[in-house]
Amino acid sequence: MARLTDRPPPPPPESPFLRPAPRPQLPLADPAVRQRAWAALTLAVLSLLTMMLISSVNVHRGAYVAAVAVIVALVAIAVAVSAMSAAKRARARRPRAAMWGIALGVLGLVLSACALAAFLIFHTQLDQYSDCLNGAITTAQQQACQTQFNNSITTEINILSGR
């Protein structure tokens, strides 16, 4: 016959103040998946650094540089998503580099897409500004170019907004 002391003790009451029981850790992802995640992070950072190549001296190349940055950011996001899905399929931890690759890739995509849109919308104003700066010798002439550029951009924005 079973005694009262033979029963297992009741589980302790759950309290919101106590830490939950630790979950079992997933294994690390395969080295190939982790390398893919690091490649995605590298491409995302490269898409952000590409935007630094745009300068006011050579505005003609700006749209091409922004377009390349958009493409690199899209590739970074695609590689990071594929690394995360491969880790999920293998029931392994998702690499942190892939998560950072997605975050920085999206940031690079947004910044470069906005820059590309600005280059496409204000193409004629940027060409005039670049030509004006190339002919300016003194700082007063450069400031006049800047003022003319600001006025033409403001006019274009007013036209686009319907004012």
**Prediction pTM value:** 0.76
What pLDDT, on a 0 to 100 scale, did the predictor assign at position 145?
Answer: 92
Alpha helices in the chain (DSSP H): 31-50, 62-89, 96-121, 123-135, 139-161
Mean pLDDT of the chain: 87
**What residues contact residue 61 under an 8 Å CB cut-off, 6+ apart?**
53, 54
Q: Where are the domains of the chain?
A: 29-121, 123-163
Q: What is the mean pLDDT of residues 73-77?
A: 98
pLDDT in tens, 14-55: 777 777 777 788 888 899 999 999 999 999 999 999 988 887
The two structure tokens encoding residue 73: 């950011």
Q: What is the mean pLDDT of residues 56-85?
A: 89
